[in-house]
Structure 1
Amino acid sequence: MVTSLLSTDDLGQARALVEASGLRFEAPYDDLVGVFEAGRLVAVGARQGRVLKMLAVAPSHQGGTLLDEVVTELVGRGYQDGVDSFFVFTSPALVPGFEALNFNLLVASGTTALLEYGDGLRRYLSRYAKQVRAGNNGAIVANCNPFTLGHRYLIEQAAAAVDQLFLFVVREERSLFPFGARLRMVQEGTADLENVVVLDTSWYAVSSITFPTYFLKGGDPGGAIQMELDLLLFARHVAPHFHVKTRFVGTEPWCGTTAAYNEAMHRILPPLGVEVQEIERKSGMDRPISASRVRDMLLNGELEGIAELVPVSTLDFLLSSEGIKIWVKGESK
C-alpha cells in the first residue's frame, strides 16, 4: 500500500533509500509517498508541481510493480490538485522502464532524458493545428514581462522575413505580470500584424520543466543541460509541427543566462534544421530597451519615461487599476 511519508522516521528512511539509489533527496515537494514492508521503506517517490522525482525502489524489490504503484499514486494526487501533465528526468538507460509505465520520451541528451506521463505534448500541438500553414515560418519565444517596444521591434523584423510568425508567450507563472496579463499585452500590441500568431508555450519551451534556470537568474550547475533539452524539444517537436525554419531572438547585453541560451541556440538548432537569426535590440532613451528596465522604472515610480519604452496598449494597461495593482504589489515584496 502506498502511503504518505510524514514522520521524522519516514523522512529518514526516504532520504536513505533515495541516496542509496544514487539520487539526491530534494526538498521542497508537494507529495512524498512510499511503500513499507515489515516497517522498512522499500519504495519512494515525490512530486513537485508537474515533476516526479526521487523515484527509487530497494534492490531487493526491483522488477516488480512497486515503481508503478508509486507513480500511479503521485499522478492521482497530482490530478486531484489540478495538475494535468507530469514529467520525469532520468538517465537514458532507464527510459525503457519508464516507457513501460506510460511515459513518453520527449528528448534525451548525454546523461539526461526528459519523459512525459501521457500525451500532453500531442494534445498541445493539436490545439493549434488549424492555425498552421506550411511555408517559410518563423518563431519567437518571449516572456514579455511586460510587452515593450523592444519586443514589438523584434516581432516586426521577424514577421517581415517569414510567411507566418508564431509568437510563443511563456506560460510559466514566475514573473511580475501573470500570464493572462502578459498574453493580453502581446495580443493587443501585435493585433495589426496579420501574419503573427500569438500562442502560449504550455510546458514545452522555457518553462520550469524544460528550462528552470531561466527563472533563477543566478544560474545553476545544470543550466547547460537544461538549455540543451529545452532547445532539442523545440527543434524536434515544436518546430516541425509549426513548419518553423527560423527562430528569431534579440541580442542580450545584460543577462548572462539569456546570453548563454542565445549562444546555445546558435550551436544546437541549425544542425537540426532551424536557423537562428539574432536581431540587435531596439534602443530607447539612449539604452537598449528591456522589460527589466521597464519593471525597474515602475517600481521606482519613474512613470513618465515608460511611455518611450512601451506601446500605447501596454502603457494603458500598466496605468490601469488592474496593472497598478500588479506592479505596486510587486514593489511591496
Structure 2
Amino acid sequence: MVTSLLSTDDLTQARALLEATGLQFETPYDDMVGIFEAGRLVAVGARQGRTLKMLAVAPSHQGGTLLDEVVTELVGRGYQEGVDSFFVFTSPALAPNFETLNFHLLAASGKTALLEYGDGLKRYLARFTRLVRPGNNGAIVANCNPFTLGHRYLVEQAAAAVDQLFLFVVREERSLFPFGARMRMVQDGTADLANVTVVDTSWYAISSITFPTYFLKDGDPGGAIQMELDLTLFAQRIAPHFYVKTRFVGSEPLCGTTAAYNEAMHRILPPLGIEVREIERKNADQQPISASRVRDMLLRGELEGIAELVPVSTLDFLLSSEGIKIWDKGGAR
C-alpha cells in the first residue's frame, strides 16, 4: 500500500533509502509517498510541481511493481491537484525502465535524460498544426517581460529572412508580468507582421522543467546540462513540427546566463540541423534595449523615457490600470 511520508521517522527512512541507491534527499517537494514492508520503507517517490523525483526502490525489492505503484500514486495525486503533465529526469541507461511505465523520452544529453508521463508533447504540438506552413521557417524563443523595441527589432529582422516566423513566448509564471499579459503585448506588438505567428512554449522550452536555472540567473552549475536538454528537445522534437530551419537570438551583453545559453545554441543546434543567427541588439541612448531596463525604470517610477524603449502597444498596456497594478507595488502614480 502506498502511503504519505510525513513523520520524522518516515523521512529518516526515505533519506536512508535514497542514499543507499545513490540518490539525494532533495527539498522542497509538494508530495512524498512510500511503500513499507514489515515497518521498513522499501520504495519512495516525490513530486515537486510537475517533476517526479527521489524515485527509489530498495535493492532487495527491485524488478517488481513497486516503482510503478509509487509513480501511479504520485501521478494520481498530482491530477487531483490540477497538474496535467509530469516529468522525470534520469540517466539515459535507466530511461527504458520509465518507458515501461508510460513515460516517453523527450530528450537525452550526456548523462541526463528527460521523460514525460503520457502524451503531453504530442497534444501540445497538435494545437498548432493548422497554423504551420511548410517552408524555410524560423523561430525565436523569448520571455518578453515586457515586449520591447529590442524584441520588435529582432522579430522584424528574423521575419524578413524566413517564410514563416514562430515567436514562442515563455509560458512559465516566474516573471513580473504574467504570461497572459506578456502574450497579449507580443501579439499586439507584432500584429502588423503577416508572417509572424505567436505561440506559447508550454513546458517544453525555457521552463521550470527544461531549464529552471534560467529564472534564477545565479550561475547554477547544473545550468549547462539543462541548456543542452532544452536545446536538444527543441531541435529534435519541436523544430521539425514547425519546419524550423533557423533559430534567431539577440546578442546578450548584460545577462551571463542568457549569454551562456546563446553560446550553447551555437554549439548544440547546428549539428542537429538548426542554423543559429545572432542579431546585434538594438540600442537606445547608447545602451542596449532590454526588458530588465524597462522594468527597472517602471519600478523607480521613471516613466518619461520608457516610450523610447517599447512599442506604443506595450506602452499603452503598461500605463493602463491593469498594467499599473502589475508593476506599481507602491500604488498607482
Give the shorter-chain TM-score range: over 0.9
The residue that corresponds to 2:318 in the other structure is 318
Residue 184 of structure 2 corresponds to 184
Kept in 2, the 8 Å contact 1:87–1:115? The answer is yes
Distance in 1, matches of 2:142 and 2:211, equals 13
Q: Which residue of 1 aligns with 2:85?
A: 85
Deviations 1:82-109 (A, max 9, x none): 1111000001111111000000011111
Distance (whole Å) between structure 1 residues aligned to residue 319 and residue 236 of structure 2: 41
Partner of 1:63: 63
More divergent stretch after superposition (17-26 vs 322-331): 322-331
Instruction: Read off the aligned partner of 2:258 and give its amino acid letter.
Output: T
What number of residue pairs does the alignment pair up? Answer: 332
CA distance in 1, matches of 2:42, 2:90: 20
1: CA distance, partners of 2:285 / 2:46: 49
Shift of 1:213: 1.1
Name the amino acid aligned to 1:212: P
2:219 is matched with which residue?
219
State percent identity of aligned pairs: 86
Aligned Cα RMSD in Å? 1.1
Partner of 2:97: 97
* Structure 2 counterpart of 1:31: 31
- List per-residue Cα deviations over 1:134-172 (Å, max 9, x = no partner): 101000000000000000000000000000000000000
Shift of 1:219: 2.1
Residue matched to 1:147: 147
Inter-partner Cα distance in structure 1 for 2:182 and 2:284: 21
1:156 and 2:131 are equivalent in the alignment: no
1:133 is matched with: 133
Paired with 1:180 and 1:253, the residues of 2 have a C-alpha distance of 28
Q: Distance in 1 between matches of 2:97 and 2:219?
A: 31
Q: Report what 2:266 is aligned to.
A: 266
Partner of 2:294: 294
Contact 1:102 1:118 in 2 (8 A): yes
The answer to whether the 8 Å contact 1:32/1:47 transfers is yes
CA–CA distance in 2 between the matches of 1:329 and 1:248?
Answer: 34
Contact 1:105–1:113 under 8 Å retained in 2? yes
Counterpart of 1:166 in structure 2 is: 166
Q: C-alpha displacement at 1:262, in angstroms?
A: 0.2
Which residue of the partner structure matches residue 51 of structure 2?
51
Which of structure 1's runs of 4+ aligned residues deviate more than 2 A?
none
Query: Contact 1:185–1:317 (CA<8 Å) still a contact in 2?
Result: yes
Residue deviations 1:178-216 (CA, integer Å, cap 9, x gap) = 000000000000000000000000011000100111011
Displacement of 1:261 in angstroms is 0.4
Counterpart of 2:92 in structure 1: which amino acid?
Answer: P
Q: Work out the CA distance in 2 between the residues paired with 1:111 and 1:276.
A: 25
